[in-house]
Amino acid sequence: MIDTSLDVINKLGLHARASGKLIEVTSKYRSNIQLGKGKELIDAKNIMSLLMLGAGKGTTLRLVVDGTDEEKACEEIKALFAAKFHEGE
């Protein structure tokens, strides 16, 4: 199991388009992938749950990935956040 943190650095935060891109990544993996603030974790494969997080720019999120492909999933998710969801900022 991987338990780490991610910083939301894109200008608009985890809005609908960014959440959609995150779902494209998380849904490719068999691992259980959760995001949240502190102890409250949500399913990172569920668009409504992601939107309800209300994660704006500057938010630090907890990422928990557990499963057979957890390392690859974690790497790709971190890369997506680092690339600011490819929003061209």
Catalytic residues: 15
* 14 token code pair: 């985890």
DSSP secondary structure code for residue 84 in this structure = G
Structure-block tokens of residue 41: 């974790």
Closest CA to 55 of 41, 73, 68, 69: 41
